[in-house]
């Protein structure tokens, strides 16, 4: 196993690894699916559970300002995705936020009926948009084209262009600014799913003029399994959108217990019910690791890690075929390869301490999270990969048996 690599010598993020609790015997290349536990989070959670909840009880809503956690955490995420304060709220799951945002966007384009997306989108986004079109029963259509055909498919029929910036399987990255501009020129609104972008590289929602965005709290933001997600509404829409879920936490005065619904001003109207204080507190604490980090440094190191991985795998594991873009400019922070027995290969890798994941039918996927992964880890992972392939260690029944969650 490599313990040092020359490219790690001047890494401005090297010290960050100590801020995470990583098992010693694991090279973790799956932070794009579930981020790593920041080392200070357990103590913070102990404090929240034992003192905030345990001692303050119901008084905690005021004493610890639990009620504003969605905005406070939202504002911290806003900084990472190039959004102004007061435009992001941390709430619900990404799936639910897709529903809320697409519905609100359709409502702003009542004369148009087409939602355009691509076949590289994460299925939940497509399921939700298709389901919403059915539910509305007003003739809406979800149109799905190949990722490379999106630009040409933008027409003046579009109400909403709904895209995930980084393809979860291949790591291919859409040009957010160019596609947003194109959609706006056609009179459409745009929603970006930043699940594989937020915390992975600099995102500039305001600079791209995006209308809406959603994203996950448990991937590169390290908020823990099932962490709350976030949503963004551009300043020009945030006081006009009509939320589809008119819950009391999106009301202008929830504690007036008024019988009539009046939306809160700003992005708060997209909140629905009581915030999950424990999970939001974990996400809030986890975001501390970004406080003194330059997202430009994260991107620089991410590119370097991905380039090294691609170069070494292609040189040493010729049976693997690269599916990610070779050009870093159109790639996120993950690298995928195709291998016929990809599932068994990934299980063998995991059994040997290298954790990535598998996406059907034949893709092995490796996420590179610069806050806690080094170039030495990349070399260590490639070495295991090379041995497992050379010795056909994947070719065992135990590695071929599918698990419930892959
Ligand atoms: C791009 C993308 N969008 C949405 C989701 C789903 O989010 P959730 O299951 O947290 O609602 C995921 C991953 O699960 C994803 O990768
Ligand atoms: N959310 C997940 C889960 O609950 C279990 C296993 C994986 C996930 C994921 O996040 C998958 C992920 N969005 C992906 O990019 O494939």
To test ligand 2's pocket by mutation, which of 31, 34, 169, 223 has the most ligand atoms within 8 angstroms of CB?
34
Q: Flag whether 94 is marked binding.
A: yes
Domain count, the chain: 2
pTM here?
0.98
* DSSP E strand stretches across 187-236: 189-193, 212-215, 230-233
Q: Flag whether 66 is marked binding.
A: no
Cβ of residue 405 lying under 6 Å from some atom of ligand 2: yes
- Predicted ipTM of the assembly: 0.96
DSSP 252-299: S-GGG--SS--BPSGGGGG--S---HHHHHHHHHHGGGGTT--HHHHH
Strand-pair partners of 331: 172
CB 200 within 8 A of CB 58: no
Tell me if 378 is assigned to some domain. yes
Does residue 258 share a domain with residue 177? yes
pLDDT confidence of residue 2: 56
pLDDT confidence of residue 355: 98
DSSP 335-373: EEEE-TTHHHHHHHHHHTTEE-EEETTTEEEEE--TTT-
Tell me if 102 is assigned to some domain. yes
Does residue 278 share a domain with residue 222? yes
Does residue 169 share a domain with residue 30? no
Active site amino acids = 122, 193, 218-219, 365
CB 20 within 8 A of CB 371: yes
- Alpha-carbon distance 351 to 251, whole Å? 50
Q: Phi, psi at residue 129, to the nearest 5°?
A: -65, -40
Cβ of residue 124 lying under 6 Å from some atom of ligand 1: yes
Tell me if 169 is assigned to some domain. yes
* Nearest-atom index, ligand 2, CA of 405: 6
pLDDT confidence of residue 81: 98
Provide the sign of the torsion angle of the four alpha carbons 250, 256, 262, 267, taken in this order: negative
CB 245 within 8 A of CB 102: no
CA 25 to chain centre: 26
Q: Flag whether 155 is marked binding.
A: no
User: Which ligand lies nearest to the CA atom of residue 197 in the structure?
Assistant: 1
Cβ of residue 168 lying under 6 Å from some atom of ligand 2: yes
* Nearest-atom index, ligand 1, CA of 218: 10
Cβ of residue 198 lying under 6 Å from some atom of ligand 1: no
Q: Flag whether 3 is marked binding.
A: no
Cβ of residue 334 lying under 6 Å from some atom of ligand 2: no
Ligand 2 atom 12, closest CA: 33
User: Which ligand lies nearest to the CA atom of residue 194 in the structure?
Assistant: 1
Dihedral in degrees, nearest 10, Cα atoms 155, 160, 161, 167: -150
Dihedral in degrees, nearest 10, Cα atoms 231, 235, 238, 241: -100
Residue 281 belongs to a domain with what CATH number? 3.40.640.10
Tell me if 124 is assigned to some domain. yes
User: Which ligand lies nearest to the CA atom of residue 365 in the structure?
Assistant: 2
Domain that holds residue 253: 45-290
Last residue of one domain, picked from the residues 249, 269, 290: 290
pLDDT in tens, the chain (406 residues): 457 899 999 999 999 999 999 999 999 999 999 999 999 999 999 999 999 999 999 999 999 999 999 999 999 999 999 999 999 999 999 999 999 999 999 999 999 999 999 999 999 999 999 999 999 999 999 999 999 999 999 999 999 999 999 999 999 999 999 999 999 999 999 999 999 999 999 999 999 999 999 999 999 999 999 999 999 999 999 999 999 999 999 999 999 999 999 999 999 999 999 999 999 999 999 999 999 999 999 999 999 999 999 999 999 999 999 999 999 999 999 999 999 999 999 999 999 999 999 999 999 999 999 999 999 999 999 999 999 999 999 999 999 999 999 8
């Amino acid at each position: 196993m490599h313990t040092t690599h020359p490219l790690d010598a001047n890494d401005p993020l090297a010290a960050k690894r100590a801020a995470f609790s990583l098992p010693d015997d694991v090279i973790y290349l799956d932070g794009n699916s579930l981020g790593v536990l920041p080392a200070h989070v357990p103590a913070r959670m102990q404090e929240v559970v034992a003192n905030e909840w345990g001692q303050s009880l119901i008084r905690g809503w005021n004493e610890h300002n639990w009620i504003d956690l969605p905005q406070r955490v939202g504002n911290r995420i806003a900084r990472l995705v190039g959004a102004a304060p007061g435009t992001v709220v941390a709430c619900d799951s990404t799936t639910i936020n897709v529903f809320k945002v697409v519905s609100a966007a359709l409502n702003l384009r009542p004369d148009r009926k087409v939602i355009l997306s691509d076949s590289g989108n994460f299925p939940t986004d497509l399921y939700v948009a298709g389901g919403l079109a059915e539910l509305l029963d007003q003739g809406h259509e979800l149109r799905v084209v190949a990722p490379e055909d999106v630009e040409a498919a933008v027409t003046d029929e579009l109400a909403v262009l709904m895209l995930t910036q980084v393809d979860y399987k291949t790591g291919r990255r859409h040009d957010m600014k160019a596609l947003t501009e194109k959609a706006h020129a056609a009179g459409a609104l745009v929603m970006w799913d930043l699940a594989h972008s937020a915390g992975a590289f600099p995102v500039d929602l305001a600079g791209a003029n995006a209308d809406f965005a959603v994203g996950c709290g448990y991937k590169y933001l390290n908020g823990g399994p099932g962490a709350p997600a976030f949503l963004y509404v551009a300043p020009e829409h945030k006081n006009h959108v009509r939320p589809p879920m008119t819950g009391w936490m999106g009301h202008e005065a929830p504690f007036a217990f008024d019988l009539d619904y009046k939306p809160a001003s700003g992005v708060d109207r997209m909140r629905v019910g009581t915030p999950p204080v424990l999970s939001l507190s974990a996400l809030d604490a986890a975001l501390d690791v970004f406080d003194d980090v330059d997202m430009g440094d994260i991107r620089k190191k991410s590119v370097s890690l991905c380039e090294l991985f691609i170069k070494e795998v292609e040189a040493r594991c010729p049976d693997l075929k690269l599916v990610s873009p070779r050009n870093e400019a159109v790639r996120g922070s993950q690298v995928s390869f195709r291998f016929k027995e990809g599932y068994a290969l990934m299980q063998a890798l995991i059994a040997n301490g290298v954790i990535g994941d598998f996406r059907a039918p034949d893709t092995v996927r490796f996420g590179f999270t610069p806050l806690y992964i080094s170039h030495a880890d990349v070399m260590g992972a490639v070495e295991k990969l090379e041995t497992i392939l050379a010795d056909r260690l994947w070719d065992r029944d135990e590695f071929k048996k599918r698990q419930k969650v892959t």
